[in-house]
Amino acid sequence: MTYNKKFLIKYLNNYLSKKIDQDFIKEYIEMIPKKLYRFRACTENDFNAIENDYIWLSLASEFEDVKDSTIKYNFKSQKDEIFDIYCDWYPYILKTELKKKFPKMDLSRYNISRELIDEYLDNAVNKNGTYNKKKMKKYMLSNGMKTSDFTIIDRTIEQHLTQDNIEKMANDLLNTFNDKMLEIKDSFLVTCFTQTFKNDNLWQTYAKKYTGFCIEYDLSKAEFEMHANLLFQITPMLYGRKKPVDFVELFRIAKMEYCKEDYDKSLAENMDVQFNLQARTKSKTYDHEKEWRLYLKKDAIKTRKYPFPFIKRIILGKDINKRNKVRLINLAKKNNFEIYQQKYNILTSSFLYHKIND
């Protein structure tokens, strides 16, 4: 089974939908791996989790990778398109701002439209996007505007209709969404798994250079009626370069919301999918991890010690010490888990895994 971008987008479209498609949930659960693994380091918390059949849930903001669950954008590459949308948006902004500040001002004297804004830009804004007050005043007065009205509009346009301000507005909007992403990072509790136990990097890193162990979870033991909601929230991570978020589309939606325009709400839903897709994409340097995650909404969870009674077996690292080995063997007997020992075969430069029967 290939768990690629197309697979994850289809999942997110259903996961984020307000309509629950039970047929898709069944189809999805059939496609996820039947076995997942976690590497542990023989801490007291690790032993306690095995003994009591739970997994520990973390916030994504607690992970060491600062790029985890973040979004990427490139304003400069989309600046011209954003500026064009803003010029469509600006007549509404201008009228709204003027009504707030000068409620007695008669706006009907001015045809504030996109065409008028384009005229203003041609006559008042330099090619580098900076505001030219002298050009603006000459143009406006030549078109019959009163000096008192010009002073008001001049101040408003200078504050809003320049490239610097457009960029500031775009960055402010992005900062709002960055705050939203940080909120998302802390709105889910997460546990990380991998698809394989045969991974030297994971043994080195998370099992403390083979002195720890690996837990195998058998999800085929989960009953659909009882665990469907849980299994549906286990998803793969993607690896590769994050494609910048389509900030143009985001700006367009913001404009339509601000202007109270009717628009296809699927546009916003698609942006939600794109944000979640970025949050679940990691650098290619991590692709060896073959990671899957369980995402649970924090508000719905009472404790970070989350029941997960699917342990099938425990695999001991080749360099685990005797005390920890005995302790894990006893836990396996008590809880009816299989237990295996990892050994290194120097002749084949590979690892073997032997079942411990005693």
3-state class (DSSP) for residue 260: coil
Residue 131 DSSP label: B
350 has a pLDDT exceeding 70? yes
**pLDDT value, residue 262:** 82
Give me the pLDDT at residue 241, please: 84
Please tell me the distance from the alpha carbon of residue 8 to that of residue 3, in angstroms, as a whole number.
7
- 144 within domain boundaries: no
| Dihedral pair phi/psi, residue 102, rounded to 5° | -135, 75
User: What is the pLDDT at residue 85?
Assistant: 82
Higher pLDDT residue, 197 or 122? 197
Residue 148 located in a structural domain: no
For 77, the 3-state DSSP assignment is helix
More confident residue, 355 or 185: 355
DSSP string covering 264-308: -THHHHHHHHHHHHHHTEE-GGGGGG-EEEEEEEGGG-S-SEEE-
Residue 155 within any structural domain of the chain: no
pLDDT (0 to 100) of residue 46: 97
Picking from 81, 88, 129, the residue whose alpha carbon sits closest to that of residue 250 is: 81
pLDDT digits (tens, 9 = 90+) for 248-273: 887 788 778 877 888 777 777 788 88
Tens of pLDDT, residue by residue over 288-311, are 999 999 999 888 888 999 999 999
pLDDT of residue 133 exceeding 80, the answer is no
Could you tell me what percent of the chain has a pLDDT over 90? 40
- What pTM, to 2 d.p., does this model score? 0.77
Phi-psi region of 42 (alpha: psi -120 to 50; beta: other; left: phi over 0): left
Q: What's the structural domain count of the chain?
A: 1
Q: Does residue 34 lie in a domain region?
A: yes
| 166: pLDDT strictly greater than 80 | no
Mean pLDDT in residue range 9-14: 89
The pLDDT value recorded for residue 324 is: 98
Q: Which residue blocks in the chain are alpha helix, DSSP H? A: 5-15, 22-31, 44-51, 75-101, 114-124, 133-142, 147-160, 163-185, 200-205, 224-232, 247-258, 266-279, 322-335
pLDDT tier at 164 (50, 70, 90 boundaries)? low
**pLDDT value of position 159:** 64
* 171 lies in some domain: no
Determine the residue type at 76.
Answer: K
| 322-331 LR contacts (CB < 8 Å, sep 24+) | 324/42, 324/211, 324/213, 327/47, 328/47, 328/50, 328/213, 329/356, 329/358, 331/47, 331/50, 331/51
Instruction: Give the model's pLDDT for residue 341.
Output: 97
Report yes or no on 126 lying in a domain: no
- pLDDT score for 330: 96
Pick the closest to residue 234 from 6, 1, 20, 29 (CA basis).
Answer: 29
Distance CA 179, CA 174 (A): 8
Angle between helix 163-185 and helix 247-258 axes, rounded to 10 deg: 100
Band (pLDDT 50/70/90 cuts) for residue 323 is: very high
Whole domain around residue 333: which residue ranges? 5-70+194-241+289-355
The answer to whether position 104 is within a domain reads no
331 or 243: which leads in pLDDT? 331
In a domain, residue 254? The reply is no
pLDDT in tens, 64-102: 777 777 777 766 777 778 778 877 887 777 777 777 777
Q: Is the backbone of residue 345 left (phi > 0), alpha (psi -120 to 50) or beta?
A: beta
pLDDT number for residue 293: 95
Give me the mean pLDDT over the 24-47 stretch.
95
| 311/143: higher pLDDT | 311
Token pair, residue 151, equals 């002073």
Greater confidence (64 vs 217) lies with: 217
Q: Residue 134: pLDDT above 80?
A: no
Position 129 confidence tier, pLDDT thresholds 50, 70, 90 = low
- Residue 309: closest CA among 191, 187, 222: 222
Q: What is the mean pLDDT of the chain?
A: 84
* Rg for the chain, CA atoms, rounded: 29
30-39, 131-140, 256-265: which has the highest mean pLDDT? Answer: 30-39
